[in-house]
Structure 1
């Protein structure tokens, strides 16, 4: 008798179970029997389905977004503060330049950028996150979606944004910032502009990167070009727009070269 024929061996999808690993009930029995504790809904296989559902929901809801820019910053920034009003201004100017505005959907800088876009007739999007403390979606959203998992939410920011604008913030803002820089640096995503707003707030960090990380060889000199630093909302929008014009020009050049190659034209 082979191991496959052994009654203590069971095939369960792609897995083979043997001996004490063989369950005493079938998958159908466990699915249809609703009695007993609900611990199964917290098990890893069920979480995989939840993760899949979040991706499907996000992709389905955001698939038809026009070009968009994600704006990050602190949820603790108070309405009426200089940083808040700067974010309102940036949200409005991004809409005027033809972009939807995506934020984390919460209060502070997120609310401000959504407000600037919304009150000027733009498309305002919020991608929230389930947290232990209450943080509801703000009131300036045309589309709002709340995620359970940070990594699913991050994927949505990257997939549906053509630029990142980062105002002063805390650990969450730094997390989003450095993930974006890493993805661009390693060419996991198409290069797009990352703009830091607030020279006083971000200046020390940029100086440390330039004087500590760069000389020690932890990054390359060209990596410094991945980040733009400014205080001017007009310059923020100009950096984003100019980067996209340049990207479109390069795409057209590549298409022309490819077309010439397919037709056998060598340009001589």
Structure 2
């Protein structure tokens, strides 16, 4: 590395992807594609840019469909990007990825760090297909090193379609708002019959039990959901139980 390069390089410099483009330093703070789409309200912005966004959105679906159409049986795994490598959740995620491959599934994650990395790592080390569906975020860390097939998206809704379309079920590790978003969207899709025979498995009784109790004791009690909606998810504590729940559900509906 040259002396000039040494002066310009900093290991903590801001960096993120914008589709196929990588932006660093000051350019990394530019609005994301989702922000442009959702925040633009002026007439000029609509008439001059939205028609082009339609083509860009279409291209994301085409690229995703083309890349994943021959994937075979797969399970989407969700969990926090903040999970530490020395945590129990990371260990569980790695073992989960390995056992899913041994059960005949490819593993799909959001492609990021934390629990997503753990599941990809377990799948890759077990010799299976490890898939990452990345998303453009203001301070995104990029695709983790254990992804074999990575597809980067600008728009959340295009990415979410791929998670559901090419998976036989969801397994959800402890996570934050993004994980909850994916969990509740999957529950709505099953509840409304948009997808059928689609197991949703939560790993971590102590983590998820308060949320499920709130759904039962507040939403169901107030009549906002049906008591039967509580059966949309399986609650387990180990990778073995999670994989078994998916396998049994998939086998039952074949």
Structure 1 length-normalised TM: 0.76
Aligned counterpart for 2:55 among listed residues 45, 49, 53: 49
**Is 1:121 aligned to residue 127 of structure 2?**
yes
SS of residue matched to 2:253: helix
Aligned counterpart for 1:93 among listed residues 99, 119, 122: 99
Residue 191 (structure 1) shift:
3.0
Residue 141 (structure 1) shift:
1.2
**Is 1:138 aligned to residue 144 of structure 2?**
yes
Q: Which has the higher contact order (CA 8 A, sep 6+)?
A: 2
Q: Which of 112-121 and 189-198 deviates more?
A: 189-198
Note the residue ranges of structure 2 that are not aligned, 5 or more in a row: 1-44
Encode CA deviations 1:181-227: one digit per residue, 9 max, x unaligned: 00000001123110011111111000111111111111112111111
Q: Name the residue aligned to 1:62.
A: 68
Encode CA deviations 1:10-34: one digit per residue, 9 max, x unaligned: xxxxxxxxxxxxxxxxxxxxxxxxx
Question: Which aligned pairs between 1:226-237 and structure 2 lie closer than 5 A?
Answer: 226-237=232-243
CA–CA distance in structure 1, aligned partners of residues 56 and 217 of structure 2: 44
SS of residue matched to 2:65: helix
Q: Name the residue aligned to 2:183.
A: 177
Q: Name the residue aligned to 2:20.
A: none
Q: Name the residue aligned to 2:31.
A: none
Q: Name the residue aligned to 1:74.
A: 80
SS of residue matched to 1:51: helix
Distance 1:206 1:40, change over 3 A: closer
CA–CA distance in structure 2, aligned partners of residues 222 and 41 of structure 1: 46
Q: Name the residue aligned to 2:199.
A: 193
List structure 1 segments (4+ residues) > 3 angstroms apart after TM superposition: 39-42
**Is 1:152 aligned to residue 158 of structure 2?**
yes
CA–CA distance in structure 1, aligned partners of residues 178 and 169 of structure 2: 18
Q: Name the residue aligned to 1:209.
A: 215
Distance 1:41 1:111, change over 3 A: farther
Structure 2 length-normalised TM: 0.81
CA–CA distance in structure 1, aligned partners of residues 243 and 181 of structure 2: 23
Residue 42 (structure 1) shift:
7.1
SS of residue matched to 1:43: helix
Encode CA deviations 1:66-114: one digit per residue, 9 max, x unaligned: 1000000000001021000000000000000000000000000000000
Greater CA radius of gyration, 1 or 2?
1
CA–CA distance in structure 1, aligned partners of residues 139 and 243 of structure 2: 34
CA–CA distance in structure 1, aligned partners of residues 173 and 114 of structure 2: 11
CA–CA distance in structure 2, aligned partners of residues 98 and 189 of structure 1: 21
